[in-house]
């Protein structure tokens, strides 16, 4: 479905700067929000109909959702995902924009690579913001062409998929990023501590006889990067926080005024390492690994108190051939664009951990602010990127029906609440269900 929208009427608007949703109508013109009528004592229900009108009665109307951490695999692994299929999955999941990581083949470490992504994404159903590599070839030895990538449209730098082992390189990355006003996104992992680990180190790994990855593999790296950030002052963003200790490190740093933000993924607040021994499903293998219930509880607490600023899917497509191997041989990562809203609704909103207004901040406003990109708000004069969700409808995850090219999800068959009804990009419907 692709149609121009001129009015969204009778919706429940979820505004990031408010604490509760409010009834209202949104008028669009030429892809921009022209006017918003909020419910007041004198407001009458909008009765307009016809083409270009969505009656959103009973539905939640959000600023377009933004996923600040996805892997689109193009160039190099188009068998797993392409920019076209990845953005189709994004639109199906309610996202109007995604930021794509640079661990492609070859890596996004120069202006030509950034330009390539932006050109391919030009007519896609979601906006794509490239993230450039910190180091050339993501090898961690030489700083990449940061200024040129930013000039071409890169919104952040990261070697995600790999940590930056050399503290001097990380220091220089923070210094250069500060010059261009972009954040450095840290994949926090000390590979010397990770070793050949394939799951969280603890009771379950010992019971299963599988090599473990200790939580302090992540925490040591976060500590180092926070210390560097504290002295340099550049904005630091911690990707996919997974441990109780990591949440506490970020919490303390924020209390000290350090310019650090953090994100959590749905799999790290919905799944634990106890699931691995039940079926050895390789779709439970990821980096950082699934941790314990104590870690899950800490991440939810961090989301509740604002320590963790954003929720990001870390959408990581892999072919079935790659995943259908022994657990220790499988690549890390799962897809997440099309399950994020349902998991958030089911595991965070319905239990009362977060409100829908909190979700508008975690999945829209905060990612936009961290990356300094457009979006993240519903107000007059902004581009009409809008997501409409039915909070009451339940649905069953069927990965074979997904728009993503890959199907590596541990949630297949799960019953979730909260269904995306419309994704609207620049006033035009990019997805409807």
What single-letter DSSP state applies at residue 403? S
40 in the same domain as 29: yes
Q: Is residue 230 part of a domain?
A: yes
Can you give the C-alpha Rg of the chain in angstroms? 21
416 in the same domain as 307: no
- Determine the structural domain holding residue 426 and report its residue range: 7-61+382-432
Q: How high is the mean pLDDT in each 10-residue block of the chain (433 residues)?
A: 86 96 96 90 62 96 98 97 98 98 98 98 98 97 97 98 97 98 98 97 97 98 98 97 98 98 98 95 98 98 98 98 96 98 98 98 98 97 98 97 98 98 98 96
Beta-carbon contacts of residue 400 (< 8 Å; ≥ 6 apart): 407
In degrees, to the nearest 5, what angle opens at C-alpha 59 toward C-alphas 56 and 64? 90
366 in the same domain as 280: yes
Of 371, 399, 419, which residue is a domain's last?
371
Of 323, 346, 371, which residue is a domain's last?
371
β-sheet bridge partners, residue 396 = 415
Token pair 């997805």: residue? 431
345 in the same domain as 296: yes
Tokens, residue 278: 């039940």
What single-letter DSSP state applies at residue 37? E
107 in the same domain as 28: no
**Exposed e or buried b for every residue in 218-238, given b needs 16+ CB within 10 A?**
bbbbbbbbbebbeebebbbbb
pLDDT (0 to 100) of residue 3: 87
pLDDT (0 to 100) of residue 217: 98
Q: Per the structure, how many domains does the chain have?
A: 2
77 in the same domain as 36: no
347 in the same domain as 202: yes
The C-alpha atoms of residue 354 and residue 418 are separated, in whole angstroms, by 14
191 in the same domain as 337: yes
Beta-carbon contacts of residue 370 (< 8 Å; ≥ 6 apart): 68, 183, 235, 237, 261, 309, 310
79 in the same domain as 55: no
- From residue 378, how far is each of 4, 123, 364 by CA, in Å? 18, 23, 10
The CATH number linked to 388 is 2.30.40.10
Tokens, residue 383: 């581009």
The CATH number linked to 253 is 3.20.20.140
The C-alpha atoms of residue 249 and residue 179 are separated, in whole angstroms, by 26
Q: Active-site residues: which are they?
A: 314
Query: Within 10 Å of residue 281's Cβ, how many Cβ atoms?
Result: 15
The C-alpha atoms of residue 215 and residue 189 are separated, in whole angstroms, by 9
pLDDT (0 to 100) of residue 65: 99
Q: Is residue 108 part of a domain?
A: yes
Q: Where are the beta strands (DSSP E) in 203-271?
A: 212-213, 236-238, 260-264
194 in the same domain as 54: no
275 in the same domain as 159: yes
- pTM comes to 0.97
280 in the same domain as 251: yes
Token pair 């490190």: residue? 249
Of 347, 371, 395, which residue is a domain's last?
371
CA 403 to chain centre: 17
Q: Are strands 386-396 and 310-311 parallel, antiparallel or unpaired?
A: unpaired
pLDDT (0 to 100) of residue 45: 66
By C-alpha distance, which of 90, 78, 80, 74 is closest to 406? 80
Q: Is residue 392 part of a domain?
A: yes
């Amino acid at each position: 479905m692709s149609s121009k929208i001129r009015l969204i009427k009778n919706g429940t608007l979820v505004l990031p700067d408010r604490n509760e949703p409010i009834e209202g109508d949104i008028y669009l013109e030429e892809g921009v929000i022209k006017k918003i009528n909020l419910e007041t004592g004198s407001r009458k229900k909008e009765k307009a109909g016809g083409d270009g009108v969505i009656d959103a009665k009973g539905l939640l109307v959000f600023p377009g959702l933004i996923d600040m951490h996805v892997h689109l695999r193009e160039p190099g692994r188009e068998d797993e995902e392409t920019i076209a299929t990845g953005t189709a999955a994004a639109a199906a999941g309610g996202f109007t924009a995604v930021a794509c990581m640079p661990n492609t083949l070859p890596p996004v470490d120069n202006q030509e690579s950034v330009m390539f992504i932006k050109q391919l994404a030009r007519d896609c159903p979601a906006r794509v913001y490239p993230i450039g590599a910190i180091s050339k070839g993501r090898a961690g030895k030489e700083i990449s062409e940061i200024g040129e990538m930013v000039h071409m449209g890169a919104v952040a730098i990261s070697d995600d998929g790999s940590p930056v082992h050399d503290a001097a390189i990380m220091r220089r990355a923070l210094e250069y990023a500060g010059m261009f006003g972009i954040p450095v996104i840290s994949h926090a992992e000390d590979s010397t501590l990770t070793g050949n680990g394939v799951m969280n180190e603890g009771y379950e790994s010992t019971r299963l006889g599988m090599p473990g990855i200790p939580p302090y593999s992540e925490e040591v790296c976060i500590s180092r990067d926070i210390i560097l950030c504290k002295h340099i002052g550049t904005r630091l963003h911690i990707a996919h926080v997974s441990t109780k200790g990591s949440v506490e490190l970020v919490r303390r740093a924020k209390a000290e005024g350090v310019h650090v933000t953090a994100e959590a993924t749905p799999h790290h607040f919905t799944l634990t390492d106890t699931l691995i021994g039940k079926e050895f499903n390789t779709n439970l293998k990821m980096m950082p690994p699934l941790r314990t219930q104590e870690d899950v509880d800490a991440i939810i607490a961090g989301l509740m108190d604002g320590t963790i600023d954003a929720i990001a899917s870390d959408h990581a497509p892999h072919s079935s051939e790659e995943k259908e191997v022994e657990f220790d041989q499988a690549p890390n990562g799962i897809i997440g664009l099309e399950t994020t809203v349902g998991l958030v609704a089911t595991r965070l909103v319905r239990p009362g951990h977060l409100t829908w207004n909190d979700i508008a901040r975690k999945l829209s406003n905060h990612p936009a602010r961290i990356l300094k990109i457009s979006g993240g708000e519903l107000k007059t004069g902004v581009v009409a990127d809008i997501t409409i969700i039915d909070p009451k409808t339940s649905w069953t995850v069927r990965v074979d029906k997904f728009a993503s090219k890959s199907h590596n999800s541990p949630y297949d068959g799960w019953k979730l609440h909260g269904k995306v009804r419309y994704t609207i990009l620049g006033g035009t419907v990019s997805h409807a269900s």
